Chains A and B, each alone.
Chain A
Amino acid sequence: MSTRAFGSRIQRNIDPQLLRGEGSFVDDIPLANALHVAFVRSPFARARINSIDVTAACTHPGVAAVYTCDNIGDLDLELPLLIPHSSMTDARTQRPLARGDVYYVGQTVAMVVAVDRYTAEDAAALVDVDYDPLEVEIDLEKAILDGSPLVHPTHPNNIAAHLVQVSGNPDRAIAEAEHVTRVRVQVDRSTAAAMECRAVAAIFDRVTGELTVWDGTQAPLSVRGGLASILNIDEDKVRVIAPNVGGGFGQKVLLFYPDELLVPFAARHLGRPVKYIEDRRENFVGSTQERTQIHTIELYAKKTGEVLALRDSFLHDTGAFIPYGIAVAQVASTSIAGPYRIPNIWVEFKAVYTPTVPVTPYRGCGRPHACFAIERAMDQLADDLGLDRFEIRRRNLIGDDEFPKLREGLLFADGLPVSLDSGQYHKALEMLHDKLDVANFAAEQQKAREAGRHLGLGMAFYVEGTGLGPYEGGHIKIHPITGKVYVNTGLTSQGQGHDTVFAQIVSDQLGVKVEDVILVEGDTKAFDWGVATFASRAAVVSGNAIHKSALIVRNKTLTAAANMLEASADDIELRDGAAWVKGTDRQVSLAAVATATNPLRYAFNESAKAATQFAPASRHDGPALGEGQAPGLEATDYYSPPCATWAYGVHGAILEVDPEICSVKVRRYVCIHDCGNMINPMIVEGQVMGGIAQGIGGAMYERIEFDTDGNMINANFVDFLVPYATEVPQVEILHLETPSPLNPLGVKGVGEAGCIPVGAVIASGIDDALRPFGAAPFQHIPITPSMIYAAVTGG
C-alpha cells in the first residue's frame, strides 16, 4: 500500500452522479401503469368520526380504489410499538387508517388510489367525513394537569411514560452542597425537513408471489421484516429497496408510516404498481417530528464551582402516539450530565401525549435538549458564583485519566449502562479558548460597547453516545473478471458518503483503489442481516463489520496469491489491484487470484484457463474444493459493539446583537470536535457542518407552530424557517482524534454531532451581548427577534 486511504480527504464517490442529476430516487423508478395515492387527512386535532362517505370519490373518473379502515383487511390494526420499555403502560400507536377517532391534524383517514396524483387529490376532496371535534390541550405543561382534555382516555393526565433514573447518591450530595443553581429551559418542536420527502412504491408479482417495495427509508431490513409479518409473506418473498434518498435525519427510520403498509397492500390488492410521493405539506403534518422538552435542572455545587449533584426533571412531548417508545427522552435523560464529572445524578421524565404529529428521533435525538439544559445551567452556575464560563467547566470536566467514566444506574438507548469511553475534554476546551482568542475578547467587547455595538461570546460543550448496537454485518467479494471489490451492508445512505468511507476501509486492506470498491446497500436482496442507519452508528458498527470482513478476504487473498506465486504469504503485499512478491516485480492481479480460487470447468478468458480442471495448477488428486473450503475471495463478518462510544466537542461563537433591529449576526463560529479516528476528515467536516446548519435552525429559526386547536399554522417553507446558506455562518472546525478503545477502527460516530450544542452556544452568546440590558438569560430556543425585543426593552 502506497498511501493509506483511511484518514485521507478523498472526494465522495457518489457526488458526480448526484450532482449531474443522475441519482435515482423513489419517484424516478420507472413503473409502467402505476397508480398514485393521495390521503384524506384529519382536519381536527381530536375528533370522533361519525361516518365516512366515499361514494362520490369512488365514482370519480380515474379512481381505482378508495380505502378506509373497513376495507383494508389485516391492516386495520394498531401499528407495532417498536421499542417497548417498562416505563410505558399500554403504549398507544396509530392505525394505518383512523377507526373511530382521530388524534392529530394530518392523521390518515382514507386513501385514494387513482391514475395520477391530480385525480387522486381531486377525489380525496370528495370523501365526506363527518367529525365531532373534541376539546384539546396543546400546551405541554397544561396537558398534564388534572381536568385537561385527554388524548387517550386510557392515559390519565396524558402521561405516556414516567421514568426516574439515579446514579450515585444524590440525596447525600445535595445535603452537602453549598450552593444550588436552578434553571428552567425549553426547546421547541421542529422537523427534519429533508430535501426529499418520504416516498413509497410497490409492485406485487402474482406469478412469483414476490412483493418489491421501493421505500425512501433509513431501515429497509426492518421494513421488510415488518411487512412480511403484517402481510404474512415469507421474508425472502419481500424485497425492500431504499434507492437514493434525499436526507433522513431520523424521520425516515420509523416504521411503519401508514403509507409504507398501505401502498404494498394496494399494489397486491389491485394487481398494479402503486406509488405514493409525499408532498411537503404532508411531510409537515404527517411525518414525525421532535424536540419539545421542558427541563427544570438543578446543580448542587460547592462554592468552588465543583458540582456534586444534578437533579433534572423534564416533560417530553411525544405527540399523539409513542411508536418509537421513550428513545428520545431516554437519550436526553442519560446525556444530561454532559462531559462533567458530576458523580450524583437524579433524572426524571414524563413523556406526555399531545394531539399532534407523533414524535420520534430527529438528528440529535434528545442530546440537543440535554445539552441545552446542562450548558445553560453551567453558565448560570458560573454567573452565580462569579466564575468565568470556561473556568466553571475546567473545574468539572472529566479528566483524561478518568475514562472510562461509568454512570452507573443510567441505562442508555441501547439498554446498556452509560460509560464515556475516552476523550481529551480539557484540551478541547483550551483549543477553543485559544482559537476564539477569549483572552482578548473582553477588551474587544468593551470597546464595541462604547461604540454602541453589542458583541457576545457564547460557548457550549457536548457529548454524544454514538455507534449503538445491536449489530451490523459486512459482505465483501473480489470480482474475478474486473478485480473490483463489492461490499454490502444492511444500511442505507441518505447522503452521508458511506460508499466512500467504507471503500476507504476496504481499500487499505486489499490494496485496491477507493474507486474500485463498490458499495451496494439499501437493498434487502444485497444483504440480508442488520438493522438500519440511525444514531450515528454507520461508521462504528458497519464500518467495523466491513473492516473485519476485509481482514478475512485479505488473508484469503494472501494465501491464494502465495500459492500462485510460489512464495510465502508473509512475503506477499497487496497494492495497485494486485498481489506482489515483496521487493520483486512478480505479481498477479486480484482478478486472477479471484478467478483461480474458483475451480472452473469452462475457460471463458485467459485467467480462467488457469482455473479449469485440466490446468497444471488445479488439483488432480481429489475434489477441486477441499473440505471446508469455499470458492472465491469472499467473506461476511459482523460487528456488535460492547456499548455506545462517546464522541464530544465544544463550540464557541462571537456574535453581535443589534438591539434596534433585534437581529443576531454570528461573526465567528468555532467548533472543536473529536470523533475518534477519522476515516475521511472531509466527510466528517461535511457532517459537522450540516449539523451546525441544522443547529442554527434550531437555535434561531425553526419552530413548528400550533394554534390552540392543534392546527399547524406554518406547514410550509414560507413560514417554517429553515435557514438558507445566507443565515449559516462560516465555521472553523478543528479536530482532535482520541481513538475509541471499544472498536478495532477506533472510530466514533459523527452524524448528529454538529447540531447538539448550537442552541446553547447562541443563547450563551446573546446573554453575554445583552448583559448591559440586565435581561434575564435566554433559556428557550429558538430565540426570535421578538424575544430579543422583550429582553432589550424589559417587556
Chain B
Amino acid sequence: MKPPLFEYRAPRSLKDAIALLAGDSGAMVLAGGQSLIPALNMRLASPSRLVDIQHIEGLKGISVQDGRIVVKAMTRHRQLELSEAAHRANPLIREAMAHVAHVPIRNRGTVVGSLCHADAAAEMPMVLLATDGSVVAEGPRGRREIAAEDFFQFHMTTTREPDEIITEARFSVLPAGAGWAFEEFTRRHGDYAIAAVAAIVDRTSGHVSLAACGISSRPVRLRQSEEIIAKGGLVPDVLKAAGEAAKEAVTAPDDMHASTDYRRHLLAGLVRRAVEKAASRTK
C-alpha cells in the first residue's frame, strides 16, 4: 500500500494551479486527501502529478449571500458543519454532515472534494442536489457555473473537465418557514449511506424537494415522489405513496451490503420518515 511515483506541486495561485493541471494530462487535484490518498496507496489511482490546492490564496471560507451559501474549495467538512452562519441559513447542512465519515476525516476532508469525488453514496452531493445548488469551475477556458443537476454523472464521475478546478460550491438557503430533514441508514456509524434522503418541505409555496443517495449510480432527485406530495398533501397515505414511488429510483444492483429489494424497502421508509420530520419542522 505505497503509491507509485508522482510529482507533487503546491502552487500559491489559482492561475498557476490551472496551468499545472492543464500542462499534464495525468495531473490530479489534491484537496483534503481523504479519498485520493487511500486511492493512491491502493494503487487505484496513479496520477503523474498532484496539484495540491491547499496553499492557494482565496480558496478558503464560507459566506452567505444572495440566498446562497458559498463554500470555497478548501473549506473542510468540519468548518461548514460548525459554521453558525451556514447553519442559520440552512440547517439541513449540519444535520447531513454529521453523517459524513468521522470527525477526524471531516477535519481534513473538504466539502468540494467530496462533491468532486462524487461517490454515489456520499451525502454532500445529495444535499447540493436537494438545495438546487451548483458549483463553480475555473479552467483555461474561463469560469462557469454548473448546476448540481448537471454536475453529477455517474459514480465518481462529474462534468468537470480534467483541467478545471472547482473553486466553490453554492448551496441554497432554506426558504423562510420551510422544514428540513435528513434520514440515513448505514450499517456502521459514519459509513457511506446504504440509502439516505434529504427533504425540504415548504408549506407556504407547496414546494417539496427530495433527494436520495446510495441507491443509484449518482445522487438523484425523487421528482415523482415530490409531485405526489405536492398534489396530495402531507398526510400519511400520501407520504406512504411517495415512499412507494421512490422505489423506482433504485437502480443499484444487489451488493454485499444490501439487496436491491431491501434498498427499495429502505428508501420508501426513509422517504416517509424524512418528509414527516421535515413537515413537523415547518413554521
Q: Mark B103-147, 1 if CB is under 8 A from A, else 0.
A: 000000000000000000000000000000000000000000000
Tell yes or no: A195 within 8 A of B by CB. no
Q: Are B5 and A701 in contact (CB under 8 A)?
A: no
Tell yes or no: B214 within 8 A of A by CB. no
Q: Are B262 and A724 in contact (CB under 8 A)?
A: no
Tell yes or no: A130 within 8 A of B by CB. no
Q: Are B256 and A662 in contact (CB under 8 A)?
A: no
Cα A121 to Cα B40 with chains together (Å): 13
Q: Are A786 and B258 in contact (CB under 8 A)?
A: yes
Q: Are B259 and A786 in contact (CB under 8 A)?
A: yes
Of B1, B5, B191, B266, which contacts A661 at CB under 8 A? B266
Which residues on A sit within 8 Å (CB–CB) of B257?
A: 719, 784-785
Q: Mark B184-195, 1 if CB is under 8 A from A, else 0.
A: 010111111010
Tell yes or no: A118 within 8 A of B by CB. yes
Which residues on B sit within 8 Å (CB–CB) of A663?
A: 185
Residue ID in chain B nearest A713 by CB atoms: B256
Of A661, A703, A714, A789, which contacts B259 at CB under 8 A? A789
Cα A317 to Cα B155 with chains together (Å): 36
Residue ID in chain A nearest B260 by CB atoms: A786
Tell yes or no: B261 within 8 A of A by CB. yes
Of A662, A700, A701, which contacts B262 at CB under 8 A? A662
Known: A280-B1, A789-B261. A660 touches B188 (CB 8 A): no
Q: Are B1 and A279 in contact (CB under 8 A)?
A: yes
Min CB distance, A191 to chain B, in Å? 15
Which residues on B sit within 8 Å (CB–CB) of A793?
A: 261, 265
Q: Are B261 and A726 in contact (CB under 8 A)?
A: no
Which residues on A sit within 8 Å (CB–CB) of B189?
A: 724, 726-727
Chain B contact residues: helix, strand, loop or mixed = loop
Known: A121-B2, A279-B1, A705-B256. A724 touches B190 (CB 8 A): yes
State which size class the interface on B falls in.
Answer: 20 to 34
Tell yes or no: A122 within 8 A of B by CB. yes
Q: Mark A49-69, 1 if CB is under 8 A from B, else 0.
A: 000000000000000000000
Cα A279 to Cα B42 with chains together (Å): 10
Tell yes or no: A406 within 8 A of B by CB. no
Tell yes or no: A115 within 8 A of B by CB. no
Q: Mark A771-795, 1 if CB is under 8 A from B, else 0.
A: 0000000000000111001100101
Q: Are B269 and A661 in contact (CB under 8 A)?
A: yes
Q: Are A118 and B2 in contact (CB under 8 A)?
A: yes
Which residues on A sit within 8 Å (CB–CB) of B262?
A: 662, 785-786, 789-790
Of B42, B256, B269, which contacts A660 at CB under 8 A? B269
Tell yes or no: B233 within 8 A of A by CB. no
From 239 to 281 in chain B, residues with beta carbon under 8 angstroms from any chain A beta carbon are 256-259, 261-262, 265-266, 269-270, 272-273
Q: Are A785 and B188 in contact (CB under 8 A)?
A: no
Min CB distance, A729 to chain B, in Å? 13
Cα A789 to Cα B259 with chains together (Å): 9
Of A117, A121, A721, A790, which contacts B187 at CB under 8 A? A721
Cα A793 to Cα B265 with chains together (Å): 9
Known: A726-B188, A726-B190, A789-B259. A122 touches B266 (CB 8 A): no
Q: Are B2 and A785 in contact (CB under 8 A)?
A: no
Residue ID in chain A nearest B265 by CB atoms: A789
Which residues on B sit within 8 Å (CB–CB) of A168?
A: none
Tell yes or no: B23 within 8 A of A by CB. no
Known: A117-B2, A279-B1, A714-B256. A701 touches B188 (CB 8 A): yes
Cα A164 to Cα B5 with chains together (Å): 56
Cα A724 to Cα B266 with chains together (Å): 23
Cα A39 to Cα B185 with chains together (Å): 39
Cα A786 to Cα B194 with chains together (Å): 11
Cα A785 to Cα B264 with chains together (Å): 12
Tell yes or no: B61 within 8 A of A by CB. no
Tell yes or no: B4 within 8 A of A by CB. yes
Which residues on A sit within 8 Å (CB–CB) of B258?
A: 785-786
Tell yes or no: A85 within 8 A of B by CB. no
Q: Are A724 and B269 in contact (CB under 8 A)?
A: no
Q: Are B261 and A785 in contact (CB under 8 A)?
A: no
Tell yes or no: A746 within 8 A of B by CB. no
Q: Are A795 and B2 in contact (CB under 8 A)?
A: no
From A660, A716, A719, residue with most partner B Cβ within 10 Å: A660
Q: Are B187 and A661 in contact (CB under 8 A)?
A: no
Which residues on A sit within 8 Å (CB–CB) of B3?
A: 118
Min CB distance, B101 to chain A, in Å? 11
Min CB distance, A778 to chain B, in Å? 15
Tell yes or no: A281 within 8 A of B by CB. yes
Tell yes or no: A343 within 8 A of B by CB. no
Cα A661 to Cα B258 with chains together (Å): 12
Q: Are B185 and A727 in contact (CB under 8 A)?
A: no
Which residues on A sit within 8 Å (CB–CB) of B194?
A: 785
Q: Are B265 and A662 in contact (CB under 8 A)?
A: yes
From B2, B43, B185, B189, residue with most partner A Cβ within 10 Å: B2
Cα A700 to Cα B4 with chains together (Å): 37
Q: Are B187 and A785 in contact (CB under 8 A)?
A: yes
From B185, B192, B257, B265, residue with most partner A Cβ within 10 Å: B265
Which residues on B sit within 8 Å (CB–CB) of A701?
A: 187-188
Which residues on A sit within 8 Å (CB–CB) of B256?
A: 703, 705, 713-714, 719
Which residues on A sit within 8 Å (CB–CB) of B266?
A: 660-662, 785, 789
Q: Are A795 and B261 in contact (CB under 8 A)?
A: yes
Tell yes or no: A133 within 8 A of B by CB. no
List 22 A-B residue pairs with CB atoms under 8 Å apart, sorted by A's residue number. A118-B2, A121-B2, A660-B265, A660-B269, A660-B272, A661-B269, A662-B266, A705-B256, A713-B256, A714-B256, A718-B191, A719-B256, A721-B191, A723-B188, A786-B258, A786-B262, A789-B259, A789-B262, A790-B259, A790-B262, A793-B261, A793-B265
B-side residues, CB < 8 A to A, are 1-5, 42-43, 185, 187-192, 194, 256-259, 261-262, 265-266, 269-270, 272-273
- Can you add 5 more A-B contacts, CB < 8 Å, to A660-B265, A785-B187, A793-B261? A118-B4, A713-B256, A789-B261, A789-B262, A790-B259
Task: Identify the 10 closest CB pairs spanning chains A and B, nearest first.
Answer: A726-B189, A660-B269, A789-B262, A279-B1, A786-B259, A786-B262, A118-B2, A705-B256, A117-B2, A121-B2
